[in-house]
Structure 1
Amino acid sequence: MKLIVQHFRVTAALMVREMSTRYGSKPGGYLWAIFDPVAHVAMMTLIFQVFARMPALGLSFPLFFASGYLPFTFYQRMSSFMAGTMKANKALLSYPVVSPFDAIVSRFILQLMTDALVSVLILFLIIELGGVSQPMDLAGMAEAAGSAAMLGLGIGTINIVMFARLPLYEQIFGIINRPLFMISGVFFLPESLPSPFRDYILYNPLVHIIMWFRSAVYPEYRADGLDKGYVLEFALVCFVAGLALLTASMREIREERV
Protein backbone atom coordinates (compact mmCIF):
# COMPACT_ATOMS: atom_id res chain seq x y z
CA MET A 1 0.00 0.00 0.00
CA LYS A 2 2.85 2.37 0.85
CA LEU A 3 4.42 1.69 -2.53
CA ILE A 4 1.18 2.63 -4.32
CA VAL A 5 0.86 5.85 -2.32
CA GLN A 6 4.50 6.66 -3.06
CA HIS A 7 4.02 6.19 -6.81
CA PHE A 8 0.85 8.30 -6.68
CA ARG A 9 2.68 11.14 -4.95
CA VAL A 10 5.64 10.96 -7.33
CA THR A 11 3.33 10.94 -10.34
CA ALA A 12 1.39 13.96 -9.03
CA ALA A 13 4.64 15.84 -8.36
CA LEU A 14 5.92 15.04 -11.85
CA MET A 15 2.67 16.30 -13.38
CA VAL A 16 3.05 19.64 -11.59
CA ARG A 17 6.66 19.84 -12.76
CA GLU A 18 5.69 19.00 -16.36
CA MET A 19 3.03 21.71 -16.36
CA SER A 20 5.43 24.35 -15.06
CA THR A 21 8.30 23.42 -17.39
CA ARG A 22 6.17 22.86 -20.49
CA TYR A 23 3.74 25.76 -20.20
CA GLY A 24 5.14 28.07 -17.54
CA SER A 25 8.10 29.27 -19.60
CA LYS A 26 6.14 30.07 -22.78
CA PRO A 27 4.18 33.24 -23.60
CA GLY A 28 0.55 32.52 -22.84
CA GLY A 29 1.50 29.28 -21.12
CA TYR A 30 -1.31 26.76 -21.03
CA LEU A 31 -3.57 29.02 -23.10
CA TRP A 32 -1.29 28.58 -26.12
CA ALA A 33 -1.81 24.81 -26.00
CA ILE A 34 -5.54 25.51 -26.37
CA PHE A 35 -5.36 28.37 -28.86
CA ASP A 36 -3.05 26.59 -31.33
CA PRO A 37 -5.46 23.75 -32.30
CA VAL A 38 -8.45 26.12 -32.28
CA ALA A 39 -6.66 28.38 -34.76
CA HIS A 40 -5.66 25.36 -36.84
CA VAL A 41 -9.27 24.17 -37.15
CA ALA A 42 -10.38 27.70 -38.12
CA MET A 43 -7.66 28.02 -40.77
CA MET A 44 -8.33 24.61 -42.32
CA THR A 45 -12.06 25.35 -42.36
CA LEU A 46 -11.44 28.42 -44.51
CA ILE A 47 -9.32 26.34 -46.89
CA PHE A 48 -12.01 23.66 -47.07
CA GLN A 49 -14.68 26.18 -47.97
CA VAL A 50 -12.59 27.55 -50.84
CA PHE A 51 -12.20 24.18 -52.57
CA ALA A 52 -15.51 22.46 -51.76
CA ARG A 53 -19.13 23.53 -51.63
CA MET A 54 -20.21 20.91 -49.12
CA PRO A 55 -18.32 18.74 -46.62
CA ALA A 56 -18.32 14.98 -47.15
CA LEU A 57 -20.61 14.61 -44.12
CA GLY A 58 -23.21 16.99 -42.74
CA LEU A 59 -23.42 20.69 -43.46
CA SER A 60 -20.67 22.11 -41.23
CA PHE A 61 -17.11 22.38 -42.56
CA PRO A 62 -15.62 23.06 -39.09
CA LEU A 63 -17.34 20.00 -37.62
CA PHE A 64 -16.21 17.71 -40.44
CA PHE A 65 -12.58 18.80 -40.17
CA ALA A 66 -12.61 18.72 -36.37
CA SER A 67 -14.06 15.20 -36.40
CA GLY A 68 -10.92 14.05 -38.21
CA TYR A 69 -8.37 16.43 -36.75
CA LEU A 70 -9.17 15.93 -33.06
CA PRO A 71 -8.77 12.13 -32.86
CA PHE A 72 -5.60 12.39 -34.96
CA THR A 73 -4.07 14.91 -32.55
CA PHE A 74 -4.81 12.60 -29.60
CA TYR A 75 -2.38 10.17 -31.23
CA GLN A 76 0.12 12.64 -32.68
CA ARG A 77 0.60 14.86 -29.64
CA MET A 78 0.63 11.89 -27.25
CA SER A 79 3.24 9.91 -29.20
CA SER A 80 5.47 12.98 -29.59
CA PHE A 81 5.17 13.98 -25.92
CA MET A 82 5.80 10.44 -24.66
CA ALA A 83 8.90 9.94 -26.84
CA GLY A 84 10.70 12.73 -24.98
CA THR A 85 9.88 11.45 -21.49
CA MET A 86 13.32 10.17 -20.51
CA LYS A 87 15.22 13.17 -21.92
CA ALA A 88 12.97 15.60 -20.04
CA ASN A 89 13.28 13.71 -16.74
CA LYS A 90 16.83 12.31 -16.94
CA ALA A 91 18.05 14.29 -13.93
CA LEU A 92 15.20 13.02 -11.74
CA LEU A 93 15.74 9.37 -12.67
CA SER A 94 18.94 9.35 -10.62
CA TYR A 95 16.70 9.28 -7.54
CA PRO A 96 15.62 5.72 -6.63
CA VAL A 97 12.13 6.90 -5.67
CA VAL A 98 11.45 8.09 -9.23
CA SER A 99 10.93 5.37 -11.84
CA PRO A 100 10.60 5.76 -15.62
CA PHE A 101 7.05 4.46 -15.32
CA ASP A 102 6.13 7.33 -13.01
CA ALA A 103 7.38 9.77 -15.65
CA ILE A 104 5.40 7.98 -18.37
CA VAL A 105 2.17 7.94 -16.36
CA SER A 106 2.48 11.62 -15.42
CA ARG A 107 3.04 12.68 -19.04
CA PHE A 108 0.22 10.47 -20.29
CA ILE A 109 -2.32 11.90 -17.83
CA LEU A 110 -1.23 15.51 -18.47
CA GLN A 111 -1.39 15.17 -22.26
CA LEU A 112 -4.71 13.33 -22.13
CA MET A 113 -6.25 16.04 -19.95
CA THR A 114 -4.92 18.78 -22.24
CA ASP A 115 -6.21 17.13 -25.43
CA ALA A 116 -9.59 16.40 -23.83
CA LEU A 117 -9.97 20.05 -22.76
CA VAL A 118 -9.00 21.27 -26.23
CA SER A 119 -11.46 18.89 -27.90
CA VAL A 120 -14.34 19.91 -25.65
CA LEU A 121 -13.62 23.59 -26.27
CA ILE A 122 -13.38 23.21 -30.06
CA LEU A 123 -16.57 21.18 -30.31
CA PHE A 124 -18.39 23.62 -28.01
CA LEU A 125 -17.36 26.57 -30.19
CA ILE A 126 -18.41 24.76 -33.37
CA ILE A 127 -21.80 23.81 -31.92
CA GLU A 128 -22.52 27.23 -30.44
CA LEU A 129 -21.16 29.45 -33.23
CA GLY A 130 -22.07 27.16 -36.13
CA GLY A 131 -25.57 26.33 -34.98
CA VAL A 132 -24.95 22.56 -35.10
CA SER A 133 -27.88 20.72 -33.56
CA GLN A 134 -27.32 17.07 -34.50
CA PRO A 135 -27.16 14.45 -31.71
CA MET A 136 -23.70 13.10 -30.90
CA ASP A 137 -22.56 9.96 -29.11
CA LEU A 138 -20.27 11.39 -26.43
CA ALA A 139 -19.31 7.94 -25.14
CA GLY A 140 -18.30 6.82 -28.62
CA MET A 141 -16.23 9.96 -29.12
CA ALA A 142 -14.48 9.39 -25.79
CA GLU A 143 -13.77 5.75 -26.69
CA ALA A 144 -12.23 6.70 -30.03
CA ALA A 145 -10.16 9.51 -28.50
CA GLY A 146 -9.01 7.20 -25.71
CA SER A 147 -7.97 4.58 -28.25
CA ALA A 148 -5.98 7.21 -30.15
CA ALA A 149 -4.26 8.26 -26.92
CA MET A 150 -3.43 4.62 -26.11
CA LEU A 151 -1.96 4.15 -29.58
CA GLY A 152 0.12 7.29 -29.06
CA LEU A 153 1.22 5.95 -25.67
CA GLY A 154 2.32 2.66 -27.23
CA ILE A 155 4.20 4.22 -30.14
CA GLY A 156 5.71 6.87 -27.87
CA THR A 157 6.91 4.28 -25.34
CA ILE A 158 8.61 2.29 -28.09
CA ASN A 159 10.26 5.46 -29.37
CA ILE A 160 11.65 6.36 -25.94
CA VAL A 161 14.16 3.54 -26.33
CA MET A 162 14.44 3.40 -30.11
CA PHE A 163 15.22 7.11 -30.48
CA ALA A 164 17.98 6.80 -27.87
CA ARG A 165 19.53 3.63 -29.28
CA LEU A 166 19.16 4.32 -33.00
CA PRO A 167 19.38 8.00 -34.00
CA LEU A 168 18.82 7.01 -37.64
CA TYR A 169 15.51 5.41 -36.64
CA GLU A 170 14.29 8.76 -35.31
CA GLN A 171 14.88 10.31 -38.72
CA ILE A 172 13.19 7.44 -40.54
CA PHE A 173 10.22 7.53 -38.17
CA GLY A 174 9.81 11.26 -38.77
CA ILE A 175 9.72 10.71 -42.53
CA ILE A 176 7.12 7.94 -42.22
CA ASN A 177 5.03 9.72 -39.60
CA ARG A 178 4.85 13.07 -41.41
CA PRO A 179 2.38 12.12 -44.20
CA LEU A 180 0.00 10.33 -41.82
CA PHE A 181 -1.98 13.54 -41.41
CA MET A 182 -2.79 13.46 -45.13
CA ILE A 183 -3.53 9.74 -45.52
CA SER A 184 -5.41 8.89 -42.33
CA GLY A 185 -8.82 10.22 -43.36
CA VAL A 186 -8.71 13.66 -41.75
CA PHE A 187 -9.72 15.33 -45.02
CA PHE A 188 -11.72 12.53 -46.67
CA LEU A 189 -13.82 9.43 -46.08
CA PRO A 190 -12.02 6.11 -46.72
CA GLU A 191 -15.20 4.76 -48.35
CA SER A 192 -14.77 7.30 -51.14
CA LEU A 193 -11.49 5.75 -52.29
CA PRO A 194 -11.51 3.17 -55.09
CA SER A 195 -10.37 -0.39 -54.51
CA PRO A 196 -7.64 -1.54 -53.83
CA PHE A 197 -6.49 1.77 -52.27
CA ARG A 198 -9.34 1.62 -49.77
CA ASP A 199 -8.19 -1.83 -48.63
CA TYR A 200 -4.57 -0.70 -48.28
CA ILE A 201 -5.41 2.38 -46.24
CA LEU A 202 -7.41 0.32 -43.74
CA TYR A 203 -4.16 -1.21 -42.47
CA ASN A 204 -3.53 2.19 -40.87
CA PRO A 205 -5.11 2.08 -37.36
CA LEU A 206 -5.53 5.88 -37.40
CA VAL A 207 -8.01 5.52 -40.26
CA HIS A 208 -10.17 3.31 -38.05
CA ILE A 209 -9.84 5.70 -35.10
CA ILE A 210 -11.03 8.65 -37.20
CA MET A 211 -13.89 6.56 -38.63
CA TRP A 212 -14.80 5.55 -35.08
CA PHE A 213 -14.84 9.17 -33.91
CA ARG A 214 -16.84 10.36 -36.94
CA SER A 215 -19.42 7.60 -36.54
CA ALA A 216 -20.06 9.01 -33.04
CA VAL A 217 -20.30 12.59 -34.32
CA TYR A 218 -22.52 11.80 -37.32
CA PRO A 219 -25.40 9.39 -36.62
CA GLU A 220 -25.91 8.84 -40.37
CA TYR A 221 -22.29 7.78 -40.99
CA ARG A 222 -22.02 3.98 -41.37
CA ALA A 223 -18.19 3.76 -41.41
CA ASP A 224 -17.89 0.72 -43.67
CA GLY A 225 -14.75 -1.23 -42.81
CA LEU A 226 -14.41 0.09 -39.27
CA ASP A 227 -12.69 -2.49 -37.03
CA LYS A 228 -12.49 -1.34 -33.42
CA GLY A 229 -10.86 -4.59 -32.34
CA TYR A 230 -7.99 -4.02 -34.75
CA VAL A 231 -7.31 -0.59 -33.23
CA LEU A 232 -7.33 -1.90 -29.66
CA GLU A 233 -5.14 -4.88 -30.51
CA PHE A 234 -2.65 -2.71 -32.41
CA ALA A 235 -2.45 -0.22 -29.52
CA LEU A 236 -2.03 -3.02 -26.95
CA VAL A 237 0.73 -4.73 -28.92
CA CYS A 238 2.59 -1.43 -29.28
CA PHE A 239 2.27 -0.67 -25.57
CA VAL A 240 3.43 -4.14 -24.49
CA ALA A 241 6.37 -3.92 -26.91
CA GLY A 242 7.23 -0.49 -25.53
CA LEU A 243 7.12 -1.73 -21.94
CA ALA A 244 9.33 -4.70 -22.85
CA LEU A 245 11.92 -2.42 -24.47
CA LEU A 246 11.77 -0.01 -21.55
CA THR A 247 12.14 -2.78 -18.97
CA ALA A 248 15.10 -4.27 -20.82
CA SER A 249 16.75 -0.84 -20.94
CA MET A 250 15.97 0.22 -17.37
CA ARG A 251 19.53 -0.02 -16.08
CA GLU A 252 20.95 1.88 -19.05
CA ILE A 253 18.32 4.60 -18.62
CA ARG A 254 19.13 5.10 -14.94
CA GLU A 255 22.86 5.11 -15.68
CA GLU A 256 22.28 7.60 -18.53
CA ARG A 257 23.71 5.26 -21.15
CA VAL A 258 20.66 5.68 -23.42
Structure 2
Amino acid sequence: MSYFSTHFRVVGALLVREMSTRFGSKPGGYVWALLDPAAHILLMTLIFRAIARVPALGTSFALFFATGYIAFQFYQAMTSYLNSAVRANRTLLSYPNVAPIDTVVARFVLQVGTTSLVAFVVLGTIVATMRVETSLHWPAILEAVAMACLCGLGVAMVNCVLFLKYPLYEQVFSILNRPLFLISGVFFLPDSIPAPYHDLVLLNPLVHIIMGFRRGFYPEYRAIGLDMNYLYGFAFLTLFVGMLVFTLSKKTLRNE
Protein backbone atom coordinates (compact mmCIF):
# COMPACT_ATOMS: atom_id res chain seq x y z
CA MET A 1 0.00 0.00 0.00
CA SER A 2 2.86 2.37 0.80
CA TYR A 3 4.31 1.62 -2.65
CA PHE A 4 1.19 2.98 -4.37
CA SER A 5 0.88 5.94 -2.01
CA THR A 6 4.48 6.90 -2.79
CA HIS A 7 3.82 6.86 -6.51
CA PHE A 8 0.56 8.80 -6.09
CA ARG A 9 2.51 11.52 -4.29
CA VAL A 10 5.24 11.48 -6.95
CA VAL A 11 2.69 11.75 -9.76
CA GLY A 12 0.97 14.59 -7.90
CA ALA A 13 4.24 16.49 -7.55
CA LEU A 14 5.11 15.90 -11.20
CA LEU A 15 1.65 17.06 -12.22
CA VAL A 16 2.09 20.37 -10.40
CA ARG A 17 5.55 20.75 -11.98
CA GLU A 18 4.19 20.04 -15.47
CA MET A 19 1.37 22.56 -15.04
CA SER A 20 3.84 25.22 -13.94
CA THR A 21 6.23 24.45 -16.80
CA ARG A 22 3.58 24.23 -19.49
CA PHE A 23 1.22 27.03 -18.55
CA GLY A 24 3.33 29.19 -16.24
CA SER A 25 2.08 31.04 -13.19
CA LYS A 26 -0.01 33.53 -15.22
CA PRO A 27 -3.45 32.82 -16.70
CA GLY A 28 -2.20 33.62 -20.21
CA GLY A 29 -0.95 30.06 -20.70
CA TYR A 30 -4.36 28.60 -19.97
CA VAL A 31 -6.06 31.14 -22.22
CA TRP A 32 -3.80 30.18 -25.13
CA ALA A 33 -4.72 26.51 -24.62
CA LEU A 34 -8.31 27.56 -25.43
CA LEU A 35 -7.56 30.13 -28.13
CA ASP A 36 -5.35 27.84 -30.23
CA PRO A 37 -8.02 25.20 -31.08
CA ALA A 38 -10.71 27.89 -31.31
CA ALA A 39 -8.61 29.74 -33.90
CA HIS A 40 -8.09 26.56 -35.95
CA ILE A 41 -11.81 25.80 -35.92
CA LEU A 42 -12.72 29.38 -36.84
CA LEU A 43 -10.26 29.37 -39.74
CA MET A 44 -11.58 26.08 -41.11
CA THR A 45 -15.16 27.32 -40.72
CA LEU A 46 -14.47 30.52 -42.68
CA ILE A 47 -12.61 28.72 -45.47
CA PHE A 48 -15.18 25.98 -46.04
CA ARG A 49 -18.15 28.31 -45.61
CA ALA A 50 -16.74 30.33 -48.51
CA ILE A 51 -16.58 27.32 -50.83
CA ALA A 52 -19.62 25.28 -49.74
CA ARG A 53 -23.21 26.11 -48.84
CA VAL A 54 -23.71 23.47 -46.18
CA PRO A 55 -21.34 21.25 -44.16
CA ALA A 56 -21.08 17.53 -44.82
CA LEU A 57 -23.18 16.89 -41.72
CA GLY A 58 -25.77 19.04 -39.99
CA THR A 59 -26.18 22.77 -40.56
CA SER A 60 -23.28 24.26 -38.59
CA PHE A 61 -19.81 24.42 -40.11
CA ALA A 62 -18.36 25.30 -36.72
CA LEU A 63 -19.83 22.24 -35.00
CA PHE A 64 -18.82 19.91 -37.83
CA PHE A 65 -15.18 20.98 -37.80
CA ALA A 66 -15.06 21.29 -34.01
CA THR A 67 -16.21 17.70 -33.51
CA GLY A 68 -13.58 16.47 -35.96
CA TYR A 69 -10.75 18.66 -34.66
CA ILE A 70 -11.40 18.06 -30.94
CA ALA A 71 -11.76 14.29 -31.39
CA PHE A 72 -8.48 14.23 -33.33
CA GLN A 73 -6.76 16.32 -30.65
CA PHE A 74 -7.58 13.81 -27.93
CA TYR A 75 -5.16 11.52 -29.76
CA GLN A 76 -2.75 13.94 -31.42
CA ALA A 77 -2.16 16.28 -28.46
CA MET A 78 -1.83 13.27 -26.16
CA THR A 79 0.84 11.65 -28.32
CA SER A 80 2.77 14.88 -28.94
CA TYR A 81 2.87 15.79 -25.25
CA LEU A 82 3.67 12.32 -23.88
CA ASN A 83 6.36 11.44 -26.44
CA SER A 84 8.93 13.46 -24.50
CA ALA A 85 7.63 12.74 -20.99
CA VAL A 86 10.65 10.69 -19.92
CA ARG A 87 13.26 12.74 -21.75
CA ALA A 88 12.00 16.03 -20.32
CA ASN A 89 12.17 14.66 -16.77
CA ARG A 90 15.40 12.67 -17.15
CA THR A 91 17.18 14.46 -14.28
CA LEU A 92 14.40 13.54 -11.85
CA LEU A 93 14.83 9.84 -12.59
CA SER A 94 18.04 9.86 -10.56
CA TYR A 95 15.80 9.85 -7.50
CA PRO A 96 14.86 6.26 -6.61
CA ASN A 97 11.24 7.15 -5.81
CA VAL A 98 10.64 8.59 -9.28
CA ALA A 99 9.89 5.94 -11.90
CA PRO A 100 9.71 6.57 -15.67
CA ILE A 101 6.04 5.60 -15.69
CA ASP A 102 5.31 8.40 -13.20
CA THR A 103 6.33 11.03 -15.74
CA VAL A 104 4.02 9.49 -18.34
CA VAL A 105 1.07 9.23 -15.94
CA ALA A 106 1.48 12.86 -14.81
CA ARG A 107 1.47 14.15 -18.39
CA PHE A 108 -1.41 11.82 -19.32
CA VAL A 109 -3.60 13.19 -16.52
CA LEU A 110 -2.72 16.79 -17.39
CA GLN A 111 -3.38 16.31 -21.10
CA VAL A 112 -6.72 14.56 -20.56
CA GLY A 113 -7.80 17.40 -18.30
CA THR A 114 -6.57 20.10 -20.69
CA THR A 115 -8.19 18.66 -23.82
CA SER A 116 -11.41 17.91 -21.92
CA LEU A 117 -11.58 21.52 -20.73
CA VAL A 118 -10.94 22.79 -24.25
CA ALA A 119 -13.62 20.47 -25.62
CA PHE A 120 -16.14 21.54 -22.97
CA VAL A 121 -15.57 25.26 -23.54
CA VAL A 122 -15.30 25.25 -27.36
CA LEU A 123 -18.04 22.72 -28.12
CA GLY A 124 -20.23 24.04 -25.32
CA THR A 125 -20.02 27.56 -26.76
CA ILE A 126 -20.87 26.36 -30.27
CA VAL A 127 -23.81 24.23 -29.12
CA ALA A 128 -25.12 27.01 -26.86
CA THR A 129 -25.08 29.55 -29.69
CA MET A 130 -26.65 27.30 -32.32
CA ARG A 131 -30.18 28.11 -33.41
CA VAL A 132 -31.05 24.43 -33.69
CA GLU A 133 -31.31 22.43 -30.48
CA THR A 134 -28.71 19.65 -30.24
CA SER A 135 -29.25 16.38 -28.39
CA LEU A 136 -25.98 14.95 -27.08
CA HIS A 137 -25.38 11.22 -26.75
CA TRP A 138 -22.78 11.13 -23.97
CA PRO A 139 -21.92 7.37 -24.08
CA ALA A 140 -20.77 7.68 -27.70
CA ILE A 141 -18.76 10.84 -26.92
CA LEU A 142 -17.04 9.41 -23.86
CA GLU A 143 -16.36 6.09 -25.60
CA ALA A 144 -14.60 7.84 -28.50
CA VAL A 145 -12.60 10.03 -26.10
CA ALA A 146 -11.49 7.01 -24.07
CA MET A 147 -10.32 5.14 -27.17
CA ALA A 148 -8.44 8.20 -28.46
CA CYS A 149 -6.65 8.60 -25.13
CA LEU A 150 -5.72 4.92 -24.94
CA CYS A 151 -4.36 4.94 -28.50
CA GLY A 152 -2.36 8.08 -27.75
CA LEU A 153 -1.00 6.62 -24.52
CA GLY A 154 0.06 3.35 -26.18
CA VAL A 155 1.80 5.06 -29.09
CA ALA A 156 3.51 7.54 -26.76
CA MET A 157 4.88 4.80 -24.48
CA VAL A 158 6.51 3.14 -27.46
CA ASN A 159 7.85 6.48 -28.67
CA CYS A 160 9.32 7.35 -25.27
CA VAL A 161 11.62 4.36 -25.68
CA LEU A 162 12.31 4.52 -29.41
CA PHE A 163 13.00 8.27 -29.39
CA LEU A 164 15.77 7.65 -26.86
CA LYS A 165 17.24 4.60 -28.58
CA TYR A 166 16.90 5.72 -32.19
CA PRO A 167 17.00 9.53 -32.73
CA LEU A 168 16.33 9.06 -36.44
CA TYR A 169 13.02 7.35 -35.64
CA GLU A 170 11.75 10.59 -34.10
CA GLN A 171 12.17 12.36 -37.44
CA VAL A 172 10.55 9.48 -39.33
CA PHE A 173 7.59 9.41 -36.94
CA SER A 174 7.12 13.16 -37.29
CA ILE A 175 7.01 12.88 -41.09
CA LEU A 176 4.59 9.95 -41.07
CA ASN A 177 2.37 11.59 -38.47
CA ARG A 178 1.79 14.84 -40.37
CA PRO A 179 -0.75 13.58 -42.96
CA LEU A 180 -3.02 12.11 -40.25
CA PHE A 181 -4.85 15.41 -39.83
CA LEU A 182 -5.83 15.34 -43.50
CA ILE A 183 -6.81 11.67 -43.82
CA SER A 184 -8.61 11.02 -40.52
CA GLY A 185 -11.99 12.52 -41.34
CA VAL A 186 -11.65 15.96 -39.77
CA PHE A 187 -12.71 17.67 -43.02
CA PHE A 188 -14.87 14.96 -44.58
CA LEU A 189 -17.19 12.05 -43.88
CA PRO A 190 -15.71 8.63 -44.70
CA ASP A 191 -19.23 7.54 -45.68
CA SER A 192 -19.05 9.74 -48.78
CA ILE A 193 -15.85 8.20 -50.15
CA PRO A 194 -16.46 5.63 -52.92
CA ALA A 195 -15.09 2.10 -52.86
CA PRO A 196 -12.39 0.82 -52.77
CA TYR A 197 -10.93 3.93 -51.13
CA HIS A 198 -13.62 3.82 -48.47
CA ASP A 199 -12.24 0.55 -47.12
CA LEU A 200 -8.69 1.94 -47.12
CA VAL A 201 -9.74 5.00 -45.15
CA LEU A 202 -11.45 2.82 -42.55
CA LEU A 203 -8.14 1.09 -41.78
CA ASN A 204 -7.18 4.28 -39.95
CA PRO A 205 -8.41 3.91 -36.33
CA LEU A 206 -8.59 7.71 -35.95
CA VAL A 207 -11.35 7.73 -38.54
CA HIS A 208 -13.44 5.50 -36.26
CA ILE A 209 -12.66 7.74 -33.27
CA ILE A 210 -13.92 10.84 -35.09
CA MET A 211 -16.96 9.01 -36.47
CA GLY A 212 -17.86 7.77 -33.00
CA PHE A 213 -17.34 11.22 -31.49
CA ARG A 214 -19.54 12.88 -34.12
CA ARG A 215 -22.24 10.29 -33.60
CA GLY A 216 -22.62 11.71 -30.09
CA PHE A 217 -23.48 15.15 -31.51
CA TYR A 218 -25.56 14.16 -34.53
CA PRO A 219 -28.42 11.72 -33.74
CA GLU A 220 -29.16 11.44 -37.47
CA TYR A 221 -25.59 10.37 -38.34
CA ARG A 222 -25.56 6.72 -39.40
CA ALA A 223 -21.73 6.46 -39.36
CA ILE A 224 -21.58 3.79 -42.04
CA GLY A 225 -18.43 1.73 -41.61
CA LEU A 226 -17.89 2.57 -37.94
CA ASP A 227 -16.46 -0.54 -36.27
CA MET A 228 -16.05 -0.14 -32.53
CA ASN A 229 -14.73 -3.70 -32.17
CA TYR A 230 -11.89 -2.83 -34.53
CA LEU A 231 -11.23 0.38 -32.60
CA TYR A 232 -11.26 -1.39 -29.22
CA GLY A 233 -8.93 -4.08 -30.53
CA PHE A 234 -6.48 -1.55 -31.95
CA ALA A 235 -6.55 0.65 -28.83
CA PHE A 236 -5.92 -2.15 -26.35
CA LEU A 237 -3.33 -3.85 -28.57
CA THR A 238 -1.47 -0.52 -28.89
CA LEU A 239 -1.64 0.02 -25.14
CA PHE A 240 -0.42 -3.53 -24.45
CA VAL A 241 2.53 -3.16 -26.83
CA GLY A 242 3.34 0.22 -25.35
CA MET A 243 3.32 -1.09 -21.78
CA LEU A 244 5.40 -4.12 -22.80
CA VAL A 245 8.06 -2.05 -24.58
CA PHE A 246 8.12 0.47 -21.75
CA THR A 247 8.46 -2.21 -19.07
CA LEU A 248 11.27 -4.03 -20.87
CA SER A 249 13.28 -0.83 -21.44
CA LYS A 250 14.09 0.20 -17.88
CA LYS A 251 17.80 0.71 -18.58
CA THR A 252 17.16 2.77 -21.67
CA LEU A 253 14.64 5.00 -19.89
CA ARG A 254 16.91 5.59 -16.89
CA ASN A 255 20.01 5.86 -19.08
CA GLU A 256 21.76 3.16 -17.08
8 A contact 1:10–1:102 mirrored in 2? yes
Q: State the secondary structure of the residue aligned to 1:171.
A: helix
Distance 1:62 1:132 in 2: 13
* Aligned residue in 2 for 1:101: 101
* Structure 1 stretches of at least 4 aligned residues deviating more than 3 Å after TM superposition: none
**Which residue of structure 2 aligns with residue 131 of structure 1?**
131
Distance (whole Å) between structure 1 residues aligned to residue 132 and residue 78 of structure 2: 29
Match of 2:67 in 1: 67
Could you tell me which runs of 5 or more consecutive residues in structure 2 were left unpaired when the two chains were aligned. none
Coordinate RMSD, CA, aligned:
1.4
Aligned partners of 2:161 and 2:252 also within 8 Å? no
- The residue number in structure 1 matching 2:76 is 76
Cα deviation 1:77-127 (Å, max 9, x = unaligned): 001111010111101111010111111111101000000000000111101
Q: Say if 2:185 and 2:207, in contact at 8 Å, map to a contact too.
A: yes
Q: How far apart are the structure 2 equivalents of 1:237 and 1:24?
A: 36
1:4-153 maps to which residues of 2 (within 5 A)? 4-24=4-24, 28-153=28-153
Higher mean C-alpha displacement, 28-37 vs 116-125 = 28-37
**2:250 & 2:24 partners in 1: Cα distance?**
30
Which residue in 1 is equivalent to 2:195? 195
Partner SS for 1:53:
coil
Counterpart secondary structure, 1:91: helix
Deviation at 1:220, TM superposition (A): 0.4
Greater mean alpha carbon deviation, residues 121-130 or residues 52-61: 121-130
Task: Report the Cα offset of residue 192 of structure 1.
Answer: 0.5
**AA of the residue aligned to 2:15:** M
Distance in 1, matches of 2:209 and 2:160, equals 23
- Which digits, 9 at most, give the CA deviation of each residue in 1:20-52, with x for residues without a partner? 011117881122111111111111111110111
Percent sequence identity over aligned pairs: 52
CA shift in 2, pair 1:132/1:112, >3 Å: farther
Kindly provide the amino acid, as one letter, of the partner of residue 223 in structure 1.
A
- Cα contact 1:158–1:239 (8 A) shared by 2: no
Corresponding residue of 2:251: 251
Tell me: CA distance 1:214–1:157, structure 2 relative to 1, closer, same or farther (3 Å): same
Aligned residue type for 1:30 = Y
| Structure 1 residue ranges without an equivalent (≥5) | none
CA contact (8 A) 2:144 2:213 kept: yes
Aligned partners of 1:126 and 1:132 also within 8 Å: no
Paired residues of 2:158 and 2:242 also in contact (CA < 8 A): yes
User: How far apart in 2 are the matches of 1:26 and 1:199?
Assistant: 47
Mapped partners of 2:65, 2:82: distance in 1: 25
Could you tell me the TM-score, scaled by structure 2's length?
0.96
1:216 is displaced (CA, Å) by: 1.1
Distance 2:19 2:132 in 1: 34
Aligned partner of 1:217: which letter?
Answer: F
SS of the residue 2:216 aligns to: helix
